[in-house]
């Protein structure tokens, strides 16, 4: 059984992976059948020949979960791309409550602004009434 998986290279605590087609029973650092590209998880650099990977998938090679993700996110041209890092918020309970309160206050302010705009629009649409002094002057003439 053929697998498409990552072969670890690099030094201690500085991993670098080569994406390879390899026999499923071979060890992690074993002899690969074909090199498809590389992935650096620290700088999020990815270079993968997507057309070759899809050929191997058609032949029955099974990708690992991570390699399947990389194949899906690789460009069609096979050029070097830097994947975006997913930023996670690490907030304690007080900070989360403060953020929620700020969001609620902003939503309330926006709702009040929308109501004021609607009231102004209704006032503009209402027919204008003449002032009583102007009506008397118009009648006198």
In the chain, at which residue ranges do the beta strands (DSSP E only) sit?
2-11, 14-23, 34-40, 45-48, 62-63, 81-82
- pLDDT tens profile 105-130: 999 998 888 888 888 877 777 665 65
CA distance 34 to 46: 17
What value does the mean pLDDT take over residues 53-74?
A: 92
Spatial CB neighbours of 114, under 8 Å, sequence gap ≥ 6: none
Mean pLDDT of 64-89: 82
pTM for this prediction: 0.58
pLDDT tens digits along 45-55: 899 999 999 99
**Number of neighbouring beta carbons within 10 Å of residue 140:** 6
Q: Kindly report which listed range (45-54, 80-89, 95-104, 129-138) carries the lowest average pLDDT score.
A: 129-138
Structural domains in the chain, sorted by start:
2-82 (3.30.1320.10)
The answer, yes or no, to whether residue 84 has pLDDT greater than 80, is no
């Amino acid at each position: 059984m053929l697998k498409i998986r990552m072969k670890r290279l690099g030094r201690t605590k500085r991993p670098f992976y080569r994406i390879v087609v390899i026999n499923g029973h071979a060890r992690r650092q074993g002899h690969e059948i074909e090199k498809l590209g590389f992935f650096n998880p620290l700088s999020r650099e990815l270079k993968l020949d997507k057309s070759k990977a899809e050929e191997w998938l058609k032949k029955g090679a099974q990708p690992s979960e991570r390699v399947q993700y990389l194949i899906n996110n690789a460009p069609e041209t096979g050029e070097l791309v830097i994947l975006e890092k997913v930023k996670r918020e690490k907030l304690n309970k007080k900070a989360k409550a403060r953020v929620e309160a700020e969001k609620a206050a902003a939503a309330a302010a926006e709702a009040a602004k929308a109501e004021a705009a609607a009231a102004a629009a209704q006032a503009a649409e209402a027919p204008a009434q003449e002032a009583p002094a102007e009506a008397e002057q118009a009648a006198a003439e």
